[in-house]
Chains A and B, each alone.
Chain A
Amino acid sequence: MESVVKTFRTAAAPVTVLKGIDLSVLPGEFISIVGRSGSGKSTLLNMLTGIDHPTSGSVVIGGTRLHQLNESRLASWRGRNMGIVFQFFQLLPMLTLVENVMLPMDFCESFAPAEREPRAMQLLARVGLQGLETKLPGAVSGGQQQSAAVARALATDPPILVADEPTGNLDSRTAEAVMALFQELAAQGKTIIMVTHDSLLAKQTRRSLVISDGELIHPAVSAALPRAGHDLLLKFHHLARPVHLPAGAEVPSSLQLGIVAGGTVIAGQAVWGFGRLVDLAGLRRAGGNPRAGSQPLKLLVLDEAEVRSLAESVRRGGQP
């Protein structure tokens, strides 16, 4: 995803919901995108799934430029390459669970017709729905419906799984089961992108991205300030200025505060790695001499005065 901007035209004024998002996901990654309501995470998901078109920028998945396909081709591509799990399950109420799972195979003509039912039964068994295959969605619980929805998302054996708040409507035990299944799938090489507002859930993924006000917070910033609210993270994201230093180079004395975004900072025996906030000025005052480790150092540099002013406004209870 490169420089993706999405602007909606409203009666009042145009609203930019995504502000130049850059995102790369590697095959087999299990990542989460965390954001509050209105942060733009659903819009981001819509861009990823081709559900919506970016105003500018591009989305390329496996070499396919999604937004160059028409709606019908996109649907077909999506059916083969991407399984989607919705927050509200979205099973078709007129079909039984097994038929719901078979449906994507019918649409996409994947697997021979004779193989589809056994495969659907197998997938339902895998999500723990043995014996319920011929039930209509209305006759089973919400958790069971979501499990069936996961089975449906896997029906065409797509390499990518996208889940929008997959546990949002589930009790904690069922939610855990679903997450365990995702872990298992990720271990088998599926790329899983999960959108959630639950940061605890996000911690179970290998990479977690925070989105706030249409911008992806630099992962190092969100790692450095785990307890900070998304608005504060965004402020830090805006304040941070990237500085790259070669391996072993001394950190210039003008830099007062920094977050490690790549490589390490070494001062004496102490080492700060990815996502650590380093008080460079303090280290110097204590006689340390911060420098880059054996790898090139990527540092997100913060201005101390600005950080203090930010901290003061937070302390007073005002907006950051």
Chain B
Amino acid sequence: MMRPRWHKALADLWSNKMRSLLVIVSIAIGLFAVGLISTTHAWLGLAMRDGYAAQNPANIIITAAGFPADFVDRIRNLPDVQEAEGVALVSLRVQTGQDTSTPIDIQAFPEMDEKQINQLTLLEGKYPPADREIVLDINKLEDTAARLGDTITVQLPSGRLREMKVVGIVRDMTIGAGGMGGGYFIASPQGYITFETLAWLEQPELLNQLHATVRSGDADLEHIQSVAGTLMDEFERNSLITISRAAMTSTAHPNNPYLESMLGLLVMLGFLVVFLSAFIITNTLSALLNQQIQQVGVMKTIGASRFQIRSIYMVLILVYSLAALGLALAFSDRAAYALLTFLSTRINFNLPAVQPVPRSILLQALIALIVPQVAGSLPILQGTRITIQQALSGTGSGNADRPSVVYRWLAKIRGLSRPMLISLRNTFRRRLRLVLTLVTLILGGAIFIGVFNVRTTIDHYMDRLGKYFIADVNLTLSEPHSIREMTAILKQVPGVVSVEGWAGARAELVEPDGSVGEAVILQAVPTDSTLIEPILTAGRWILPGDENAIVLNEMFNESLPGIAIGDTVRLRVNGEETEWVVVGFFQFAGKSGGLLAYTGFDHLSRLTSMTGRSMFYRIVTAEGMHTLEQQEELGAVLEAHLKRQGIEVSEITAGLSLNETTARGLDTLTTFLLFMALLMAAVGSMGLMGTMSLNVMERTREIGVMRAIGATDRHITRLVLVEGMLIGLISWVLACLASFPIGKMLSDVVSIAIFSMPIDFVFTATGVFIWLGLVTILSILASVLPARSAARLTIREVLAYE
């Protein structure tokens, strides 16, 4: 026969099923959140690191003017190289409508079916395609307006059109790898064709990008960079012109900065959730112990020691914890998988074959065993410490029946109806419970508001970044033209106000030992340009009369630690080594921006023998033409106009399109953050629901009395609802205050991950008001059930409660 004391523990659990359910659900929510977070953490790592590595990504990507196929064999035979492949990379345009088109990057592989590096995952259809067929990557598929089985129309440089059947949809996890200027999120749609199709597309059958993997040390970036240097030397030895090079480890998914920020946030939120759950558990267990005070007294009277009484409640908590653990384990993996599925489409990874994560299960089990016991220890200690006399007389629960200072102060509030006063004063009756409930709601709310601030902060920063691209339309020609003539031609189009010719060149850092280092985008702007407003962090901008002056972005500090104003930087521009004097530093887009430098147009054009000519034009339109649609429309008009003049356009983009593409990446982050904030809000409202249920449970008698003196269902429901909403409202005010430090912290985590630095924090009222609406709804929802059960209480039940 079970010993009576353990029977009591089980009977306590079973006798008040609602309360037991509340405790179990409170614990389970915390465990669920921890399970969700730790499992997502593990699976994300698996998908983004191991999943990426499984595609055998290139460790080295060298873009060159062109190289023959046998050169690839030579590279493959180098001692440090595991595998090497040549790719022909071409940029064309694909029609998306009657007058609209979008750029598409097409890769052609000589031996498509034997491709080893940067492997693609076939999602639908077939791979490899036959000649004159195309396989598209899923990520930007929408932009091409094509689906599997459709035929896309490709515009050739000659103006001819070619129709290609889409025979397969793949995922290319390497999009943006080693890429500069934004990588994945601003990449064009990607297509994959056979090498033999190139000629049909009027493209030279020439390899122009080398992909290579290293034989060993694929996690050692320094080693990879040194191998890349050897490869560059090989290009040079063979008199082949290189344009850029990139080195990366086999686990460095291009969207790792986003992953890192998400993982950082996950860990932070994980801690918070455990903390909040502990609060909810403490609240619930305090209430439970309060209801058990008299029984504690009786047990003490008949000889139970404090330890024996504590052990009863500890066993009770253990049973609650185990039930909660079962509940959490049943749901956390499913939710983690749903989250992973959402992220896979946003940050480009294949859903891995997932298995339960032992670490996550262990973590949940440990938390289930420890946190409720720790959270319950205080109420248990307090509950078992009271004297028999206090316990039996019911005075040991420390309740608010004896007026406190707060209460006396609240008693002075006049002018409200009695039911409203009841709600108001009830709110403050269990002060510890109120504080714990508020903490959960405040943190949930502050994170929620903080997410909006993070978004606004990044938007604000993106606006500032937009000042580097003030022009409404950016035009790239296939070959240089006279700036004077181009300006005249472009101004013939109605709406064009001014034109600037810019210059750009691919360059590489020259290391102190003379070897070629990382690629640099070198932009040259007219010194009197009104189309760029840089965020200068030190020094000055380019001035008229500057010769080899250069202004560098923040990434140079990582590549050339200690670099300062007045220092000299050696760059190889168009194969020529040149020296530049650093006159200033500007802030750009961190890691995703790569190495970016600005110099004066005149100097660079002289250096590249293009004086007075340019391929790159920045066009400003008349007032009232600054929306993305208007810019795109004008772009189409300009393209048609230039075509009529016999000028071939390579690319034409609306000024605002950069903002749009960047926003996509950030949307993923903010959606993810919002999801986490909602999870916190759910934990918070669960806490509120628990509190309201406990309040109702404890006030059963009072509710019965109110019924006895004439309170209707409506009165009772309103009392509980108003109390819940008051708590929600108080939490809202405090969450608004707490959202400043929490928003700043979140903003720093995200901006350091994306931009490699904290950016200026901007506060927005949007989150504040949305949270007000949401917390009101949550408060109502959290109070509705307790209110309904309160309204259903009959006085007879109240008397039974006595």
Which chain A residues have a beta carbon within 8 Å of chain B's beta carbons?
Answer: 42, 46, 49, 51-52, 71-73, 75-76, 78-80, 83-84, 86, 88, 90, 92-96, 99, 102-104, 106-108, 134, 136-139, 152-153, 155-156
Contacts and interface: CB of A to CB of B under 8 A. Distances in A.
A193 B350 CA distance: 78
A83 to B, nearest CB: 8
Contacts of B419: 103, 106-107
Interface centre among A79, A83, A152 (most CB of B within 10 A): A79
Contacts of B411: 96, 134, 136
Contact of A93 (B400, B408, B715, B802): B400
A107 B710 contact: yes
Given A51-B794, A107-B715, A92 B708 contact: no
Interface in B691-716: 701-702, 705-715
B426 A72 contact: no
Interface in B761-796: 791-792, 794-796
A92 B705 contact: yes
A95 B710 contact: no
B709 A79 contact: yes
A94 B737 CA distance: 30
7 contacts: A46-B795, A51-B799, A72-B714, A75-B710, A84-B709, A93-B702, A103-B706
Contact of A95 (B408, B421, B715, B799): B421
Interface string B409-433: 0110000011101100110010000
B407 interface: yes
A94 B710 contact: no
A78 B407 contact: no
B422 A95 contact: yes
Contact of A106 (B408, B417, B705, B794): B417
A52 B400 CA distance: 30
Nearest to A74: B707
Interface of B: 400-403, 407-408, 410-411, 417-419, 421-422, 425-426, 429, 701-702, 705-715, 791-792, 794-796, 799, 802
B290 to A, nearest CB: 15
Contact of A104 (B402, B417, B710, B799): B710
A106 B709 CA distance: 10
Contacts of A108: 710
Nearest to A96: B411
A99 B411 CA distance: 10
Contacts of A93: 400-401, 429, 702
A55 to B, nearest CB: 13
Contact of A76 (B418, B422, B710): B710
B418 A99 contact: yes
Given A94-B426, A138-B401, A138-B402, A102 B712 contact: no
Contacts of A88: 802
Given A134-B411, A138-B402, A75 B711 contact: yes
B126 to A, nearest CB: 69
Given A72-B712, A76-B712, A95-B425, A103 B799 contact: no
Nearest to B417: A106
A45 to B, nearest CB: 10
Given A42-B799, A51-B794, A71-B794, A95 B418 contact: yes
Contacts of A83: 709
Nearest to B407: A136
A94 B407 contact: yes
Contacts of B403: 136, 138-139
Given A103-B418, A138-B401, 13 more contacts: A51-B708, A51-B796, A71-B713, A72-B712, A72-B791, A75-B707, A75-B712, A78-B710, A90-B701, A106-B418, A107-B711, A107-B715, A136-B407
Interface centre among A84, A90, A152 (most CB of B within 10 A): A90
B694 to A, nearest CB: 16
A28 B438 CA distance: 53
A102 B795 CA distance: 20
Contacts of A106: 417-419
A16 B712 CA distance: 30
